[in-house]
Structure 1
Amino acid sequence: MTKFTAPPLDGLKRRIDRHRREKAGRPSMFVRETFRLSREEAREKAREWFEEYPKAAYWTEVESWRQLDGDQIEFTMRRLPSAD
């Protein structure tokens, strides 16, 4: 049986670090807000954002999310600052 060895990730890590450094100097055109709520509260908060900032006008979306212990959801909502 062949043993799997992971490929070296040094090059990838350097590219990610460089990208993050370059990105840090640029202002984002999006407004972001991160929440940590129970599953039901998280659903309600996301609905509020989509109702207040419609996706078609504000490009509103759940940018990222993850489930934490105790049925908690941590998520980041993203939208444009205004609809033109």
Structure 2
Amino acid sequence: MVAETRRPADVAKRSARGLKGARSWRRETFVLARPEARAKALEWFDLYPKAAYMTEIEAWRELADGRIEFTIRRLPSAD
């Protein structure tokens, strides 16, 4: 009998196999001027309400030229 390995990479591989077909986050990244970035975020929250899709701004930052880069994530469908 071969002992089951416990290296982090092996654990990650087993976990990934177990998650196949499971829900995964949908992410989209935008780079827009501040007013357009705000409008795009509001549009996403209107289309994919937080209560049903767990929509959230995952990360954001202001670039040197003043534009906003942000990533929105959501679940693919409601429960």
Greater than 4 Å deviation, 4+ residue runs: none
Gaps of 5+ in 1: 1-17
In structure 2, distance between residues paired with 1:81 and 1:51: 15
Partner of 1:45: 40
CA–CA distance in 2 between the matches of 1:70 and 1:34? 17
How far the C-alpha of 1:64 sits from its partner, in A, is: 0.1
What CA deviation, in whole Å up to 9, does each residue of 1:52-71 have, x standing for no partner?
00000000000000000221
Percent identity over the alignment?
A: 59
Q: Is 1:67 the counterpart of 2:62 in the alignment?
A: yes
SS at match of 2:65: helix
The aligned counterpart of 2:52 is 57
CA root-mean-square deviation: 2.2
Q: Name the count of aligned residue pairs.
A: 64
Please name the residue that 1:15 is paired with: none
Normalised by the length of structure 1, the TM-score is 0.67
TM-score (norm 2): 0.71
Which stretch of the first structure deviates more once superposed, 27-36 or 65-74?
27-36
